[in-house]
Amino acid sequence: MKLRCSALSISTILLTLCLATFVPDGLRDASTWKMPVIKLPCNGGMENYFMPFGIISLGIVAIGLIVLWTEYRQRECRAWFVMLIILLCFVFPTGVLQLLMRMHVAGWRPALELFEEDWTLKGLWGCFMRPPLYSVEIKYALVMSVAGLLRFLVMLVALLLPVKAFFWNKHTPAVIH
């Protein structure tokens, strides 16, 4: 089997890897199904919304992977649009929107100064294997948000890379005699 290095195959691999980064968080959140109430550090509690969001996240990742490895590789236009919807409605809110909201609330200068101290490879790797958000300090939450922005940008480039293959290449239909 010959491996072709085309824009479509590079896009498929990048999108697969980016979608796979959602699996640890989805599994961690879905594993809280036995806890109806999550205890907070201030002797309070809140209803467990992590479990349904974890299961939803795993479902969206599964749909994305199925679409990627079936119709997307065959250059079906509807598969490209499904991946665009996943990017805009699932990846954007979980990555970029959180960062923009934090920057709006805290301001750009303090957030960038806070982030400047912890910009290390360990900080970036730790954002993918993180504990629940309520037990994370605010400075690490910013690193996690920037990693979400990075994941969004990689997926956006990977989605735009093979646009010509989806929309501008003429497909010649098979002639039946």
Residue found by looking up tokens 């919304």 in the block:
49
At residue 119 the predicted structure's pLDDT band, cuts being 50, 70 and 90, is very low
Question: How many angstroms separate the CA atoms of 136 and 41, rounded?
Answer: 12
- 73, exposed or middle or buried, with CB in 10 Å at 0-12, 13-18, 19+? middle
Mean pLDDT of 6-32: 91
Contacts of 99 (CB under 8 A, 6+ apart): 142, 145, 146, 148, 149
* 3-state secondary structure (DSSP) of residue 5: coil
Q: Which backbone phi and psi does 115 adopt, to 5 degrees?
A: -75, -35
- pLDDT, tens digit, for every residue of 29-47? 888 888 877 776 666 777 7
- pLDDT, tens digit, for every residue of 66-76? 999 999 988 88
Q: Tell me which of 96 and 88 has the higher pLDDT.
A: 88
At residue 136 the predicted structure's pLDDT band, cuts being 50, 70 and 90, is very low
